[in-house]
Structure 1
Amino acid sequence: MSRFAGKTAVVTGAAQGIGAATALRLAEEGAAVAVLDLTAERARATVDAITAKGGSARAYGCDVADYDAVERVFADVVRDFGALHILVNNAGITRDNLFFKMPKSDWDAVLTVNLTSAYNCSHVAQTYMCKQKYGKIVSLSSRSALGNRGQANYAAAKAGIQGLTATLAIELGPFNVNVNAVAPGYIATSMTAATAERVGATAEEHQALAADRTPLRRVGLPEEVAAVVAFLASEDASYVSGQTLYVNGGAR
């Protein structure tokens, strides 16, 4: 497929997990991909995986929680690739704890990296997208937006993504910019492995427990989320905007 031929995509937090899988999927379908992570060195393995398959990608270092840094790196991307058509807001962290134990620093860190960074990147990207009358913004929410013990900060940030998505779809729609979100359930990543370690389980044990609670009786893979992100970023979803699509194996 070449759904993204001639398109440039920025994927944040793309050094691993869902971000890396999304960057690879978009590149496989023809996009030139700006692979963003905290440092360019961290992003390089994803770029190498893309170029090894004949795709086009470059690594960029950027703290997406820093608005000025986002402005600079997006200007670099447009200079290097000529345009910006697709933004995937994927960067995120967890600092899990029960609410009464949660220090304000952990609240601030998670809200800043998971939610404020989506504002920063979307705010800068829309200046390019509205001018060219074309754009696709896809942000990563989470099933945790519905509430999850020990994740008050993460749940609040991911619920905020859904509100931001719905509002940007209203405001940017007249400029032919589609804005959507994807809310994964349990996905086998280094982030969920870290959660397992926090509760004293191995990644395999934690995944088995999650699978037992999921109608499909398994956990998800980063590539399965990437496929949904790619759909929302494509013209196949040209009349889809303001939506949050749950990718969670049927869990309720």
Structure 2
Amino acid sequence: MMEMKETVDKVIEFAQSETNTKSFRPDYPVSEELRESMMDTFSDFMYFTLDAYFNEVAPILEEYVEELKTREEKKDILLHNLFWWRILYDAIYNYSESCIAEYLAEKNHELDSRAVIVSWLKESWKASPKFYYVGYKFNDRFFVVVDILTEKTIDVLVCDPLATPPKNGEIVMGTLIPLGNGLHAPIVDFYHFDYKARIEIVRHLHYYYNRYSKNLTPHETFLHVLSAMLQIERLIFIETQEKIPPK
């Protein structure tokens, strides 16, 4: 019992916190206090970004969503995932003029003494949207996904209480940010592909990534692959509807 207590004490002692850590490490434990601070800061960043950029970026993304003939009930979540794709794209390829640089400049005084939070934000901004297979579910908010391209397993915690619960075996698309100790959270809720499309999506995903990644950046490749996967989903939906006998 004494040995277990010493082990727990060591984990607590070496967990990343605002007082003992300057550089955020995604695989290291995080104190509860730091994790709450991280999420509060990211929420502030999200509100800042949505307020400053959504109305400017949304019309272009809405055209893309319309061109793909996205079903009405799926438009909003696809739009918001694309919005964050665009924000993170700018952060990587045009950082000096990105909203991330603007946010850090505006919040410089508040974040000046919080090196680990700044380090975590910069780590989060390296994230990019990906396609995942939903594996084991602990519950609707805590589950394991598998990166379809790398086959890496990732523990996911969904913080949004209004998020759509995933199904075992379905394919989702989203952008995961690190929360420490190997745990990740989606920036916004995942885009959930129709369950009936999962086999064809997995079958074609590698082909399209190999096709586009030779000449494009990872973020540009993702957008082309997403278009192809959404078209596959749409075709399967249409085929399924045609097979349903009229009432």
User: Normalising by structure 2, what TM-score?
Assistant: 0.26
User: Normalising by structure 1, what TM-score?
Assistant: 0.26
